[in-house]
Amino acid sequence: MRKSLDVLESMIYYWNTVAEKGKVSEQFISFLAQDRGMKATYDENFDAESVRKVLSAISNVEPFIGETLNEGKFWTNNMWMIEKMDYMNSVINPLKRLSVEDLGEGQVVFLPLQLDLFYKKGNTLYINFFMVEPDEINGTDKLTIEGVEVKEWIKKTMMG
């Protein structure tokens, strides 16, 4: 199995830039919104325009009221990462080291999603980055989803 953090790598740049009061270009935001992985999770309640509106409003420090629950949750999740950079790093750093090659065929893609925990399309599992939890109590690199160690959760979900 392969792992993709491509969109998250771009989001780290976005979150860091906005946290430091910088401006992110509309071109970069559109690039994120049009990503192949992100597109695979879009539906009638959340699409590329939703991503663009939310990320643009945050970057431009504009008030935002989502037209859908999904847009509102996406705004909230992104603001949370910008305000809690230590938390974001406590998730992203162990994810970068996570090895999934021994879990068989397929791909696992971590994305900044909105309401859903995951999407499974064919042999690809799209996981909501905002739902991955670090071990804040012991300060270890252990990550969980729904209280289950990430690698075990991926294995169970891909088989299910």
| 3-class secondary-structure state, position 127 | strand
pTM score above 0.75: yes
DSSP 8-state assignment for residue 46:
B
CA 77 to chain centre: 9
**pLDDT score at 136:** 82
Q: Give residue 138's pLDDT band: very low, low, confident or very high (50, 70, 90).
A: confident
pLDDT score for 140: 84
Helix (H, G, I), strand (E, B) or coil at 26: helix
Q: At what angle do helices 69-83 and 48-59 cross, to 10 degrees?
A: 40
- The confidence score (pLDDT) of residue 5 equals 96
Average pLDDT of the chain to the nearest whole number? 94
For the chain, give every domain's residue range.
1-160
- The per-residue pLDDT for 37 is 87
pLDDT in tens, 6-29: 999 999 999 999 999 999 999 999
Strands (E), the chain: 2-4, 107-111, 118-121, 124-128, 133-134, 143-145, 148-149
